[in-house]
Copies of this chain bind each other. A is one copy, B any other.
C-alpha cells in the first residue's frame, strides 16, 4: 500500500505555500479604489503597486458544505497617507461562518466589526492565533515595515460578502499616529 510524499508544503517562517493547486488573488492599488480614506494620497500611488496577495488551497468547489479552505495572505508594507495598507475586508456570505487566523511573519492588526458596527482589533505577531466569531466582518492591516503574512482556515461554504464593506466600510480605520497604530473612528 502506497506512501506518498506530501502534496503541499508551508514555510512556517514566511507562510509561503507550495503545491500543485495553489491559487490566489493579487490586489494592486488600482483594485482598491474607495478603500482608503485619503483619496489625495491614494491618487499619488502607482496603480500597479502590489498591496496584498493570497496563496490558497481549495480542495472542493466554493460553496461546498463541510470542507475547509486554507491559505496565506501577504500584505506589503505601506501607507495611504497615515492609513496602513490593508485588505478590503468582508463578512462571510453565510454570515455565521467562523474562521481562524495564525500569523507567520511581520506585525499587523486583525480589525473586527460586528453587525451593530462595533469595531475592535487584535494585534497580530508571529505565532498569534485568532478566532473570528460568527457575524463578524474582518480585515487585516500591515502595521510594520516588512511583509506581513498570516494563514487562514475557513469553511468552504462561508463565501465572501465584500459589498457590505464596499458600501458602508468599517466604523474604524487603523492609522499611524506618532509612529504607532491607533484605531480611529471612521
Contact = CB atoms under 8 A, between A and B. Distances in A.
Given A59-B98, A153-B153, A9 B127 contact: yes
A54 interface: no
Nearest to A70: B100
Nearest to A58: B131
Contacts of A134: 60, 66-67
Interface range on chain A: under 10, 10 to 19, 20 to 34, or 35 or more?
35 or more
Given A2-B120, A100-B70, A129 B19 contact: yes
A11 interface: yes
B19 A100 contact: no
The SS class assigned to the A binding surface is strand
A10 B57 contact: no
A126 interface: yes
A153 B59 contact: no
Given A98-B66, A98-B68, A154-B68, A122 B6 contact: yes
Interface string A5-46: 111111111000101000000000000000000000000000
Given A4-B123, A122-B4, A153-B68, A128 B94 contact: no
A181 B100 contact: no
11 contacts: A1-B120, A2-B121, A10-B127, A10-B128, A12-B104, A57-B129, A66-B98, A67-B97, A68-B98, A68-B154, A153-B153
Given A4-B122, A7-B122, A7-B130, 12 more contacts: A1-B119, A1-B183, A2-B120, A3-B109, A3-B121, A10-B129, A11-B127, A66-B97, A67-B134, A68-B98, A70-B153, A100-B153
